[in-house]
A and B are shown apart, each in its own frame.
Chain A
Amino acid sequence: MYLHDHISTKIAIAIAALSLSGCGKSFLDTRLDTQPTEHNIDGNYTSLMQLANTPYAYLSQRNEFAALDGNLFAAATDEAQQTNTSGDVYLFNNGNWGAFNNPDDRYNMYYSGIYAANYFLEYLDKKGGDYKSLLAVNRDTITQESRTKYLNDVSSMGWSIAEAHVLRAYYYFELIKRYGGVPLLTKTFNVNEKPAIAASSFQEVVEYIVTSVDSHVKDLQPNWKTSQFTNLDGRFNQGAALMLKARVLLYAASPLHNPGNDIAKWQRAAKAAAEALQFADRMDDAGGRNALDNNYRNYFLGNNTLNSAETIMAIRYTASNDLERANYPIATPGGLSGVTPSENLVSAYEKLDNYSASNPYENRDPRLGYSVVVNGSNWNNRTIDQTAGGSDDRRRTNASRTGYYLKKFVNDNVNLVNNATNPHNWPLFRYGDLLLIYAEAMNEAYGADQANGWGLSAREAINKLRARPGVNMPAVQVSGKADLRTAIKHERQVELAFENHRYWDLIRWGDAANVLNKPIYGVTVTKTASGALEYGTRQVQNRVFIAPKMNFYPFPQAEIHITGGVLAQNPGW
């Protein structure tokens, strides 16, 4: 009996003991990783290269051709009118946008780009900074073919590091262009840190951008097209960095940020523009080899933008026909009219000799015909006739309200029914714009005809642009800084139409309150009894722009709330 009891007791205790011993912590380790962890990243040389590529994603994350309502941003300015009666663009047109609904809110996007650049640079630093050996990890660098690949990667990485700095500077430029002074972050923060970073001033960020460019421009690739790395064309290069600096300094010298008209700022901008121009004009391996394109119409189509010498840097997108679909006239199968140029823009194109009001589109600045589909022109396999009963009858639902259709960037005769596609590439920095930046800065700094030792005076620069083969506009004759300034402003309006400069130019000149507050006009075409065409104007829409608050975008209200007010909202919002 007792033995029996002892045994049962022992069994009982043994079972109890067994039970407790089975509770090792390892029982609760069940995690299996199928996605890369830090361990995987560190052992892999491709990680470094991929980290270097990531900041570029934010350059093309927002398709510039679909910036607003799936179409160009131009409909928010006096350049064009959106045909659709509803859309985000009306928030701009009617002045109803604000801190809670800003259709062009790219705040998070650009800061993600800045973060990606910061992360890449910090990662490199954390690993010691010696990218040559990092790229040699776990890789064959001895065999001929592999070694070549390794050396190519090393070169590419060297440029990538400099590009990360310049790309970050570019993102800051895009932010201050919109918001004025913004928080300046040069390192990454953990998500749980709450660094109370207030907005730096506009000037502080400008200095940061200029310093970034100055310190790294020499390490950038001068010209991708003539190097052995044409497949990497699309990344930042020396010409683009110099032009970025010129553009930033130009904005910093403009009336909005330079209310006292400090000439020193304009001189600084002129110097930067001259540097960029000299680099672009250089035709050797160490230069940009840029020149004006011969064909203004075709330059903006397909891969011409990428192959042309005028392009200093362009953003690439996959081929599509979205732009054609959105902007072909409603009478074309598949077309939606979309963003239509306004009479305000069209009337800005100069009239040449022999101009007559009965044929208002003949004897005009050729760029009008290259950028805008006018009545009577040939488009989509027909002659556009907007008179009553014509192929593009204006009274048709969703026909252009301004009497024009978009031509720049839009390929003609694309078969939308069969879904034919074309590449569309966005020129971010181009030679024509550089000439205008130079002209504007030189004019303000030194007057119309002073070259200051840099070869071209302001007038010469603008005339060089106007003398583009295929455009051949007569030289600008006006004298005096003020008149040339007007001429330059006008030239920017027509040369850079639809390239997303107009809105920012008007704001930085301080002209937005006058120009963007005026109604948009369109043209009416009627056929008289004799068959002749009669042109009149009509008002299409009233526009609203409230200065001075709308000179800067409001920070997203969520941001103001999350930072607890450390980030102050822009005045007026």
Chain B
Amino acid sequence: MNTYSMIKKATALLFAVWSGSTSLKAQQPGEWIAPDSTDSQKVKNYGTVRGQELEKIPASNLTNTLYGRLNGLMVTQTNGQPGYDQATLLMRGRATYDQAALVCYVDGFQVDMSFYFQYLAAGEIASVTILKDPVSLATFGMKGANGVLWVTTKRANIDTFRIDAQVVSGIQQAVKIRKPYDAYQYANLYNQAISNDAYALNGNRFQWSPTYSDEALQQYKDGTGTNVDWLNESLRDNGRYTNTYVNMQGGMKEVAKYNLYLDYMDQTGLFNIPSGAEASRNTGLKRYNLRSNVDLKFFKIFTGKIDLGGRIESYSQPFSNNTYDNAQNFWKRLTTYPNNIYPVRDALTGQWSGNALYPNNPVAELNALGMYASHDRTLQGNFSLREDLSFLTEGLYLEQAVSFNTWSRVIQNKAATYARYYEGKQATADQNTPLVFGSNTPYGQLTWRQSNLSAGYKRQFGTHRINAVVNYYASDMIPDANEDASKIAYHYQQFSGRASYAYQDKYFAELGWGYSGSDSYAPGHRWKLYPAASLSWVLSEEDFLKDNPVINYAKLRLAAGKTGNDQTLQGRYLYQQYYRFLPGSVTGNNSLSFNGGLGLGRLATPDITAEQSMKYELGLDLTLVDNIEFQATWFNDRRSGIITRNNLVAGYLGYTGADMLPLQNIGKVNNQGVELGLSYHEKIGAMQLNVGMMATYAKNKIVYQAEIPNKNAFSNTTGLAIGTPMGLVADGFYQFEDFNADGSLKNGLAKPGFGPVQPGDLKYKDLDQDGLVDQSDVTAIGKPAYPKWYYALNIGLAYKGIDLSALFQGAAGMDINLLGATYNQVVPFVGNTTIYPIAGNAWAYYPTEGIDTRNSATFPRLTTQSNANNYTNSTFWMKNADFLKLRSLQVGYTLPSAVSEKMQLQKFRVFLTAVNPFVWSSLYRKYRMDPETPAGYPALKSYNLGISFTF
């Protein structure tokens, strides 16, 4: 036993040395400078979350477990479809209008967010940290400006053999499926629209001229008419989710430790396809993960790591084509086909219905078009070796690591078609064809080799503590070029280093630098230096605060530094001038010859380089009365050199066209805000309470983007936040009083420039008072679609064996444009679509039918023709999209150790989890739209039951 405790101590010591230094980047700000982790004075780090917390949201995509977990990381959901549900991650708002995505490092090496990170299992993760301070990010050089997500996977931390296992199973439902009007309401309102359209032809007056007769309407009311609820027919209520994992760890004392992890996840989607269907398959994702992290120690000074993480994913969907667009098109049809067009199956022949106007029967699309399956294989292997050179000088160490990461995807396509029948007759030329094997082609692949060499020194001399590391990193990524020559290989090299000095554990100074080179730029412009420095002062160690009863810990932080962003959406090798083939002359008399021309392609920028970010930070950490922890940080990010098209080139130079003007490092954006964190823990008798709150506020402003000034200053987007929606300012509806008898507008009213208008159409303000409502009256009409405020509240309660945790997450300061993604569910009838309750109270005046909504209307007059005046971006269509969601609610019960030991178990826990059960949002309340996924495959809420046990 005492050897065991000795081993335990030794292991702990080794672990303490290992844990912080796999490579330079594992150092976390504030954590390794501060004393040992057992010191209770360390402030809770809001930028880190442990894997166990992430498991509280059972989700197939790891990005969907990050809501509200990391202060400064704004996570917004975009889509709920299995396989396409990656959330958007932004650090501290948006600081550039180019690529603002974070980079992700797993176990010290960069990985691709889409192909690698999102399908790691939560059980594999030991911790996820967001690196956002200037010094840490400077050490990432050209990769750091948008923030870094630093992930570590589970490693063995004990010496004895141990098995943890967990099974979670549950159902997933759509957050809300909004339904359109039924056939009766549709026909009624359609009559209104058709009558509205005849206004001009009827001599500029409203005359009721319905398409659907009263009998037809009565049939719909009775239920004898065709009334198909397409959403109900195509979707099922529940999808399934199952996740099981087993984690084994153990080791041989002083020689090796291992952590073996196996995981299986199965998720099925909401499409209503019978499970034994021949010609189709529900959408779903199956995933098998395997990870083996082995730690070795030999020859006294060497410690090694062998990490292998692999994964097989199997994805299926009912559309026989792999494009994401196909799924989007399906949703468009599903949500826009009116209820009364035809029954699901043609009554006379029993075949699928369809006609020339509505050829794609949504239920048939799911069941009879075939299926698509894709299989992914991923493997990441990391090998590292570390030498403890304390025999030379105490505290010196060297480390070498290499990583191989590969991914490949193969697709299998089986296609079929179906004949469409309408009222007994075949309506289109399509035939019923059996399932035909389409293709078994490679879809894509990726190979990524990285290497990391570092040398470090860590030593304490009395009251001085020094910690320094230098690092060399190289990366060679070969993605699937897909016939794009600019994507053949991505090479990157970097030297970086970090040095910190602590005096009396009271005064800290830190210096970080990165010197990176990227292959996207011309020789001579490839390498850039990014330095950063920070100072901290632990006030609570000073005499005036040392024995303060209230303030247990107070630290002031100041940091400033440069970092870069070499990811851009504009393309690589912009320094190289290319030529392109252009139209030339057209000659010939009886048959034309087209004689091609040649000219410069996009003008090259020889000195193109990475975008630069100057970051400043000022922060305060406090611990009060031992159970309240508070953290506040003010940050400022000044971006410059954003690759932007230079529009301000004189036209007479002859370079015109968006594809000709050069892309230069001229854009500038400022982003600044505050980050707040507050946590409280209390022990009241047998009950333990933890409450944590975090909030980030970020506001950005475009300083320069080479915009050509518009006629009026208020139409310019420079000076506004990135993505501010622009449009007209709505001013109510046109009423009868605004028109003369001949249908023309009265004098004094501004003439609308978008098309003819009649009473019931939207009226807009003529902001520049020129008598015309046109493009020169466009201005900012709302807030961008990403949040300004992002906040979360985490509550944990433990009492005896019962534990309860709840995570609320909210976002505020954003608007949604109803004419954007939700266009088809807002604009009725145009394009033969259906009508939703949002358009139920449209402007109409038919006194003979008892309809008069002139003063109470909330929607412009209905129409079946495209209307450029009403359906154009304006304040009328901008709605507030703020929300607060209960992301996760978990209740669990751990069996008392006496009972579980009888079962040979160390621990046994049963728990129930609800994900996304509630949403509070004005958008949801008024229009039944989920603010994050208002259109397309909806976000999911789920209810799960789980068991976990440890041997």
For A28, give its contact among B493, B588, B599 (CB under 8 Å): B493
Chain B residues within an 8 Å CB radius of A235: 585, 587
Interface residue? A509 (CB, 8 A): no
Q: Within B590-617, which residues are at the interface with A (CB < 8 Å)? A: 590, 592-593, 595-601, 603
Chain B residues within an 8 Å CB radius of A558: 647, 651, 708-709
- A37 near B579 with CB under 8 A, answer yes
Question: How distant is the Cα of A4 from the Cα of B298 in the complex, in angstroms?
Answer: 13
Q: In the complex, identify which listed stretch (B278-286, B369-377, B518-526, B667-675) lies at the interface while the others stay far away.
A: B518-526
Chain A residues within an 8 Å CB radius of B583: 57, 61
Residues of B in contact (CB 8 Å), total 80
Interface residue? B324 (CB, 8 A): no
- A22 near B474 with CB under 8 A, answer yes
Interface residue? A413 (CB, 8 A): no
Interface residue? A15 (CB, 8 A): yes
- B523 near A115 with CB under 8 A, answer no
What distance in Å separates the Cβ of A179 from its nearest Cβ neighbour in chain B? 11
Q: In the complex, identify which listed stretch (A48-56, A65-73, A334-342, A520-528) lies at the interface while the others stay far away.
A: A48-56
- B387 near A53 with CB under 8 A, answer no
Q: Within B445-503, which residues are at the interface with A (CB < 8 Å)? A: 451, 453, 455, 472, 474, 485-486, 488-493
With a 10 A CB-CB cut-off, give which of B453, B597, B649 has the most chain A CB atoms. Answer: B597
Chain A residues within an 8 Å CB radius of B580: 35-36
User: What sequence of 0s and 1s flags, for each residue 558-573 of chain A, a beta carbon within 8 Å of any chain B beta carbon?
Assistant: 1101110001000000
Q: B455: nearest residue on chain A (CB-CB)?
A: A16
- A86 near B756 with CB under 8 A, answer yes
- A115 near B653 with CB under 8 A, answer yes
- A234 near B517 with CB under 8 A, answer no
Chain A residues within an 8 Å CB radius of B650: 194, 197, 559, 562-563, 567
What distance in Å separates the Cβ of A482 from its nearest Cβ neighbour in chain B? 40
User: What sequence of 0s and 1s flags, for each residue 1-24 of chain A, a beta carbon within 8 Å of any chain B beta carbon?
Assistant: 000110011011001100110110
Chain A residues within an 8 Å CB radius of B646: 191
Q: In the complex, identify which listed stretch (A225-233, A355-363, A530-538) lies at the interface while the others stay far away.
A: A225-233
Chain B residues within an 8 Å CB radius of A28: 491-493, 517-519, 523, 526
> Given the interface contacts A37-B576, A96-B772, does A54 sit within 8 Å of B587 by beta carbon?
no
Count: A-B pairs, CB below 8 Å? 223
Interface residue? B398 (CB, 8 A): yes
Interface residue? B677 (CB, 8 A): no
For A191, give its contact among B486, B518, B595, B655 (CB under 8 Å): B655
Interface residue? B321 (CB, 8 A): no
- A316 near B587 with CB under 8 A, answer yes
Interface residue? B648 (CB, 8 A): yes
- A31 near B573 with CB under 8 A, answer yes
Interface residue? A317 (CB, 8 A): yes
Interface residue? B544 (CB, 8 A): no
Question: How distant is the Cα of A55 from the Cα of B582 in the complex, in angstroms?
Answer: 10
User: What sequence of 0s and 1s flags, for each residue 211-251 of chain B, a beta carbon within 8 Å of any chain A beta carbon?
Assistant: 00000000000000000000000000000000000000000
Question: How distant is the Cα of A49 from the Cα of B572 in the complex, in angstroms?
Answer: 30
- A31 near B301 with CB under 8 A, answer no
- B576 near A31 with CB under 8 A, answer yes
What distance in Å separates the Cβ of B362 from its nearest Cβ neighbour in chain A? 33
Interface residue? A479 (CB, 8 A): no
Question: How distant is the Cα of A23 from the Cα of B526 in the complex, in angstroms?
Answer: 13
Interface residue? A539 (CB, 8 A): no
Q: Within B894-912, which residues are at the interface with A (CB < 8 Å)? A: none
> Given the interface contacts A111-B656, A112-B656, does A9 sit within 8 Å of B651 by beta carbon?
no
> Given the interface contacts A50-B598, A561-B709, does A33 sit within 8 Å of B485 by beta carbon?
yes
User: What sequence of 0s and 1s flags, for each residue 201-232 of chain A, a beta carbon within 8 Å of any chain B beta carbon?
Assistant: 00000000000000000000000010000111
Chain B residues within an 8 Å CB radius of A315: 586
Q: B484: nearest residue on chain A (CB-CB)?
A: A34
- B599 near A54 with CB under 8 A, answer yes
Chain B residues within an 8 Å CB radius of A34: 485
- B576 near A33 with CB under 8 A, answer yes
Chain B residues within an 8 Å CB radius of A35: 485, 578-580, 601
- A101 near B592 with CB under 8 A, answer no
- B598 near A47 with CB under 8 A, answer yes
Question: How distant is the Cα of A479 from the Cα of B900 in the complex, in angstroms?
Answer: 123
Interface residue? B201 (CB, 8 A): yes
Interface residue? A306 (CB, 8 A): yes
Chain B residues within an 8 Å CB radius of A50: 581, 584, 595-598
- B651 near A108 with CB under 8 A, answer yes
- B578 near A111 with CB under 8 A, answer no
- A234 near B398 with CB under 8 A, answer no
Interface residue? B711 (CB, 8 A): yes
What distance in Å separates the Cβ of A182 from its nearest Cβ neighbour in chain B? 8
Chain A residues within an 8 Å CB radius of B391: 5
Interface residue? A429 (CB, 8 A): no
What distance in Å separates the Cβ of B564 from its nearest Cβ neighbour in chain A? 15
Question: How distant is the Cα of A470 from the Cα of B387 in the complex, in angstroms?
Answer: 102
- A60 near B586 with CB under 8 A, answer yes
What distance in Å separates the Cβ of B403 from its nearest Cβ neighbour in chain A? 15
- B400 near A15 with CB under 8 A, answer yes
Query: A interface, how many residues as a size bin?
Result: 35 or more
With a 10 A CB-CB cut-off, give which of A4, A8, A59, A85 has the most chain B CB atoms. Answer: A8
Chain B residues within an 8 Å CB radius of A109: 656
Question: How distant is the Cα of A9 from the Cα of B776 in the complex, in angstroms?
Answer: 73
Q: A561: nearest residue on chain B (CB-CB)?
A: B709
Question: How distant is the Cα of A22 from the Cα of B450 in the complex, in angstroms?
Answer: 13
> Given the interface contacts A8-B299, A111-B654, A557-B711, does A54 sit within 8 Å of B517 by beta carbon?
no
Interface residue? A29 (CB, 8 A): yes
> Given the interface contacts A111-B652, A316-B587, A561-B709, does A30 sit within 8 Å of B489 by beta carbon?
yes
Chain B residues within an 8 Å CB radius of A188: 653-654
Chain B residues within an 8 Å CB radius of A59: 585
> Given the interface contacts A100-B711, A108-B656, A563-B650, does A53 sit within 8 Å of B400 by beta carbon?
no
- A185 near B603 with CB under 8 A, answer no
Q: B660: nearest residue on chain A (CB-CB)?
A: A112
User: What sequence of 0s and 1s flags, for each residue 658-669 of chain B, a beta carbon within 8 Å of any chain A beta carbon?
Assistant: 000110000000
Interface residue? A145 (CB, 8 A): no
Question: How distant is the Cα of A562 from the Cα of B583 in the complex, in angstroms?
Answer: 28
For A29, give its contact among B398, B523, B599 (CB under 8 Å): B523
Chain B residues within an 8 Å CB radius of A287: none
> Given the interface contacts A50-B584, A60-B586, does A30 sit within 8 Å of B519 by beta carbon?
yes
- A115 near B655 with CB under 8 A, answer yes
What distance in Å separates the Cβ of A155 from its nearest Cβ neighbour in chain B? 14
- B579 near A230 with CB under 8 A, answer no
For A303, give its contact among B485, B577, B590 (CB under 8 Å): B590
Chain B residues within an 8 Å CB radius of A31: 486, 519, 572-573, 576
- B597 near A316 with CB under 8 A, answer no
> Given the interface contacts A30-B519, A57-B582, A306-B589, does A101 sit within 8 Å of B595 by beta carbon?
no
Chain B interface residues (CB < 8 Å from chain A): 200-201, 299, 301, 387, 389, 391-392, 398, 400, 451, 453, 455, 472, 474, 485-486, 488-493, 517-519, 523, 526, 572-573, 576-590, 592-593, 595-601, 603, 646-657, 661-662, 708-711, 754-756, 772, 774-776
Chain A interface residues (CB < 8 Å from chain B): 4-5, 8-9, 11-12, 15-16, 19-20, 22-23, 25, 27-38, 40-41, 47, 49-51, 53-57, 59-61, 85-86, 96, 100-101, 107-109, 111-116, 118-119, 182-183, 185, 188-189, 191, 194-195, 197, 225, 230-235, 303, 306-307, 315-318, 397, 423, 556-559, 561-563, 567
27 contacts between A and B (CB under 8 A): A5-B391, A8-B299, A12-B398, A16-B455, A30-B519, A33-B485, A47-B598, A50-B581, A50-B595, A50-B596, A51-B597, A53-B598, A56-B585, A85-B756, A101-B775, A107-B651, A107-B652, A195-B653, A233-B589, A234-B587, A234-B588, A303-B589, A306-B589, A307-B589, A316-B586, A318-B586, A567-B650
- Contacts A28-B518, A101-B775, A191-B646 given; 18 further ones with Cβ under 8 A? A4-B299, A20-B472, A28-B519, A32-B488, A33-B578, A50-B598, A53-B595, A86-B754, A107-B652, A116-B654, A191-B603, A191-B649, A191-B653, A191-B655, A234-B586, A318-B592, A558-B647, A562-B649
